[in-house]
Amino acid sequence: MARSQKLSKNVSRFSRSLVATAFLTTGMFQLVAPALADGAAPGTKIKNTATATYQDPNNLDETLNATSNTVEITIAEVAGVTVTANGTTFRTDTNGNGGNATTADGKINNGDVIYYNYTVKNVGNDPTKIRIPNQPPIQGNAVLEAVPDSASVNAAVQISDDGGVTWKAVNTGTFTTDSMVPGESVLVRVAVKVTGATSGNKISLQLGNTKSKNAQNIPLDDTPHDVYTVDNPDGATGETNGTPINGTREASATYEVTVDSTLKNYALATVLKTRTAHTRLNDPSDAANDGKPIHDTIDYELKLRVENDDPTGNNLNASALEGTTIQVDAETPAKKYILVSDAIPTGTELAAIPSNLPTDWEAVYTEDDVTGASAKKADKATWKRFSANPSVDLANVKRVGFIKTGIVNTGETVSGLKIQLKVTSTGNTVDVANIAQLFGASGSNPVYDESGDQTPSNYDSTNTKFPGTDSDADGLPDTLADGDVDDGHIDNPTTPTEGTDSGNNNQGTGDGGEANVISIGPAAAKAVLNGPEDLPAAASNGDNNKDFTNRSALTL
């Protein structure tokens, strides 16, 4: 008997050890995920502690707990840089005209000076400087042309850290930007003069000098004309001491134009809307509306894509999307923002303030009427930041929106603009239909788009035009009148006159945008069928409540 007791104790200890080891090996301890490091500054310390709860197989009433030693992880400094081409523009000629120097036809000719435009961005997690070359290579019949910067200093390469308001000369091959925080970018323009070219000649310019053209954020292969990160010295403001764990990084981008082609720059931007969830939330306390869609929530995600080529076939140079004048929080004067707007549909209200937004984006709302005599279109409405008005009554919100200063580059897609609606209609069936709108600019030209399709900037392929007034007949809108903009509200959700994105995938067709529609009926009666495996509705004598038989007692 004593031996038996001793064996029992050993088995118990062995079982505990074995179970704990199994938990460790299979990762069933509740570790703090390393993903918590996402967005953390270098030098940040993350502590992980593993815990486990298990039972002794020989004593199932006994709960055992275990806690591991604390493991501390320090986030490393990581360098990163990208270069994006933003199209080309004519340099204003010596007479102050906005067109090209040799003719007024808007085409690239010998003698014209063209700016090749780029955005250089710090995509690392620590402040860094970035080296900008002063002699980027040109392919084709053209040469670099030194022109005055904002301080009247001549240079072919110039940078701007205020969005293009002022420009600073890049005159040496060792030029570096000021320290840039993570996510910060500068604009770079390179002045090129066309010379000795014939019609159809291609002229390309590469900013940066990676072996593979347009490579982004790769290890530096030190050659002339590189664009690369330059680590700040230890002790500099915000700098993490030491060197980046991934070394020095470089990037490049190439852009090409054709001689004797019309040079038109325009942002080709597409706003996309997808319904991501519908959740039944019938309120048990609301007996009068039992089973109706009231209280249900509907989730949407909005995306913004800026094309890097021209899908319209109009020989446009795709360029970055810029902001347009939008009134926010009574700012005086009103500032320029990129705006993505969504009108609250009939029979619903905003369920929650949008959160977890992409970097540099802010959530806004307006209480201005959407329809009726006092209605204002989204681009003329007065918007307010949720951050400044967190106690706003969501039932009074008529439009929800997202704003950003600066630009969205060509080839970039912004995602994560999320909206949740709550059904307020007491109908047995509720049709919810809505459409998202985008407002921005491309230079002096307005940019406007609606969701539901893949066509950028609301381009009308039938009439080969963009919305707005084209006063100089160059194919691009000069102004966007109130009548050119829809109110963004679907007046008839059952059969929208705007058309329907029936697949909830932005594949609608037609002029303008197409509505995202969901029809919600009453909840189905809830029941549980309990029967044999794979046949829960099995019946006995026509009754599926008699499909089980108690074989251990007399059954009547």
- What radius of gyration do the chain's Cα atoms show? 31
Tens digits of residue pLDDT in 390-412: 999 999 999 999 999 988 988 89
pLDDT band at 548 (very low <50, low <70, confident <90, very high): low
The Cα–Cα gap between 199 and 66 comes to: 77
Average pLDDT over residues 192-214: 90
Cis amide prior to 42 (ω within 30 degrees): no
User: Taking a C-beta distance cutoff of 8 angstroms, is the pair 270, 297 a contact?
Assistant: no
Mention every residue, 6+ apart, whose C-beta is less than 8 A from residue 83: 118, 119, 120, 121, 207, 208, 216, 227, 251, 252, 253
5-14, 66-75, 297-306 — which is least confidently predicted?
5-14
pLDDT of 201 over the 70 cut: yes
DSSP assignment of 299-338: EEEEEEEE-SS-TTSS--EE--BB-EEEEETT-SSPEEEE
With H, G, I as helix, E, B as strand and everything else as coil, classify residue 384: strand
Tell me which amino acid residue 50 is.
A
Phi, psi of 2 (to 5 degrees): -65, -40
How many CB atoms neighbour CB 382 within 10 A?
14
pLDDT at 489: 95
Which residues have a Cβ under 8 Å from the Cβ of 195 and sit 6 or more positions away? 110, 111, 141, 142, 143
* Residue 416 structure tokens: 């994560």
State the number of CA atoms in the 13 A half-sphere of 440 facing the CB.
Answer: 34
For the stretch 79-106, pLDDT in tens is: 999 999 988 888 865 444 444 555 555 6
Question: Do 299 and 277 contact (CB within 8 A), yes or no?
Answer: yes
Any idea which residue has 């703090």 for tokens? 32
Beta strand pairing call for 317-318 and 265-266: parallel
Per-residue b or e along 472-510, where b marks 16 or more CB atoms closer than 10 Å to that residue's CB: eeebbbeebeeebbbbbbbeebeebebbbbeebebebee
Q: Locate 483 and state its tokens.
A: 């009548």
pLDDT at 355 > cutoff 80: yes
Q: What percent of the chain is predicted at pLDDT more than 90?
A: 56
pLDDT band, very low/low/confident/very high, at 191 (cuts 50, 70, 90): very high
Share the mean pLDDT of the chain. Answer: 84
DSSP letters spanning 75-94: PPP---EEEEEEEEEEPP-T
The pLDDT, as a whole number, for residue 34 is 34
H or E element that contains 249: strand 249-251
CA 158, distance to chain mean position in Å, is 29
**pLDDT given at position 26:** 41
Q: Which two tokens stand for residue 405?
A: 């200063």
Per-residue pLDDT reduced to its tens digit, 430-467:
999 999 999 999 988 999 999 999 999 999 988 889 99
Interatomic CA distance for residues 549 and 361, integer angstroms: 63
Locate 480 and state its tokens: 């966007």
Q: What is the mean pLDDT of residues 111-121?
A: 92
| Coil, helix or strand at residue 61 | strand
Q: Residue by residue, what is the 3-state secondary structure of 385-408?
A: EHHHCCCCCHHHCCEEEEEECCCE
Residue 7: its H or E element: helix 2-26
* pLDDT reading at 416 higher than 50: yes
Whether the per-residue pLDDT at 536 is higher than 70: the answer is: no
Please tell me the predicted confidence (pLDDT) of residue 115: 93
- pLDDT for 142-167, tens place per residue? 999 999 999 999 999 999 998 888 99
